Amino acid sequence: MRLLVIEDDKDLNRQLVSALEQAGYAVDRAFDGEEGCFLGDTEPYDAVVLDIGLPKKDGITVLEEWRRNGRIMPVLILTARDRWSDKVQGFDAGADDYVAKPFHMEEVLARLRALLRRATGHATNELTCGSVRLDTKSGRVVVGGAPVKLTSHEYRLLAYLMHHMGRVVSRGELVEHLYDQDFDRDSNTIEVFVGRLRKKLGVDVIQTVRGLGYLLDPAAGEAEAR
Ligand code: CA
């Protein structure tokens, strides 16, 4: 999952980005509304953290522009504690949720997990496909009851496929959703990661759909687990 953080307070921006990276997301950052608006308009983010009070272009205007342009990614806005009008304006402009400053990082993380699972049609943090279980809160992966240790890239790949299980995901889509914009992208590496992941999971849950991409099929997984 790839996220965008737009926050002009440098310290807060850094704290948010590092907490989100720690939690297993690829993260891009912007420090003003103009740059952030452009990124959100041109890159396929899975969710955005958007401050309301921003230089060059305020958060409400950014959000209105995205929604007008048909950008539907979930947006969590950051509001000032005593500005109830920010929340009302934010929701009406197309925000999905908000956190008031100052906030606990855990709350931002939990709200983003909720937005991401809702956007992908899941009701809990625990995603299951056959004998593979992934907990988006703890970041733990279990296969047939036994914990599996994944690198951060392997985890990101599996988490994206699990959020989108039942649908074919192309290599191009994976590249766009697993790496931040500064990352040296090479879609060949996706195949390498899929290979490593298959080996570590020890079960054949990731199917290759020739010419199209990869598929995690929950139905096939169930048959296998029985
Ligand atoms: Ca601000």
Q: What separation in Å is there between the alpha carbon of 23 and the centre of ligand 1? A: 23
Cβ neighbour number for residue 73 with a 10 Å cutoff? 19
Q: Residue 221: is its pLDDT beyond 50?
A: no
Q: Which CATH code for domain 2-119?
A: 3.40.50.2300
* pTM of the predicted structure, to 2 decimals: 0.93
Per-chain mean pLDDT for the chain? 93
Q: Tell me, in angstroms, the distance from the centre of ligand 1 to residue 51's CA.
A: 6
With a pLDDT cut of 70, the percent of the chain lying above it is 96
Q: Is residue 42 over pLDDT 80?
A: yes
So what's the pLDDT on residue 189? 84
63: confidence class by pLDDT, cuts 50, 70, 90: very high
Of the candidates 212, 216, 215, 217, the residue with the CA atom closest to the CA atom of residue 170: 212
pLDDT number for residue 204: 83
Torsion angles phi and psi, residue 78, rounded to 5: -105, 120
Q: pLDDT band at 187, cuts 50/70/90?
A: low
Q: 97: CA distance to ligand 1 center in Å?
A: 17
User: How far apart are the CA of 17 and the centre of ligand 1, in A?
Assistant: 15
Q: What percent of the chain has pLDDT over 90?
A: 85
**How many angstroms separate the alpha carbon of residue 95 from the centre of ligand 1?**
17
Question: 80 - beta bridge partners?
Answer: 101
Q: Which of 190, 198, 192 is nearest to 174 (CA)?
A: 190
Q: Say if residue 222's pLDDT is above 70.
A: no
User: Distance from the CA of 30 to the center of ligand 1, in angstroms?
Assistant: 12
In one letter, which amino acid is 38? F
Identical fold for domains 2-119 and 126-225, yes or no, is no
Q: What's the CA-to-centroid distance between 53 and ligand 1, angstroms? A: 4
88 Cα: distance to centroid of ligand 1 (angstroms): 18
Tell how far the Cα of 15 is from the centroid of ligand 1, in angstroms: 14
Q: What is the pLDDT of residue 188?
A: 66
From ligand 1's centre to the CA of 66, what distance in Å? 19
CATH of the structural domain 126-225, one choice from 3.40.50.300, 3.40.50.880, 3.30.465.10, 1.10.10.10: 1.10.10.10
Q: How confident is the model at residue 47 (pLDDT cuts 50, 70, 90)?
A: very high
**CB-proximal residues (5 Å) to ion ligand 1:** 8, 51, 53
pLDDT at residue number 45: 98
Q: pLDDT digit string (tens) for 146-175?
A: 999 999 999 999 999 999 999 999 999 999
Q: What are the C-alpha distances in Å from 27 to residues 22, 61, 83, 176, 201?
A: 10, 22, 28, 12, 26
Q: Looking at residue 77, what DSSP letter applies?
A: E
- Tokens standing for 115? 């937005």
pLDDT interval class at 203 (50, 70, 90): confident
Q: How far is the CA of 44 from the centre of ligand 1 (A)?
A: 24
Confidence check: pLDDT of 87 > 80: yes
- pLDDT surpasses 60 at 137: yes
Task: Please report, for the chain, the start and end positions of each structural domain, with discontinuous segments joined by +.
Answer: 2-119, 126-225
Ligand 1 mean position, distance from CA 90 (Å):
14
Distance (angstroms) between ligand 1 centre and the Cα of 134 equals: 35
d(CA 76, ligand 1 centre) in Å: 14
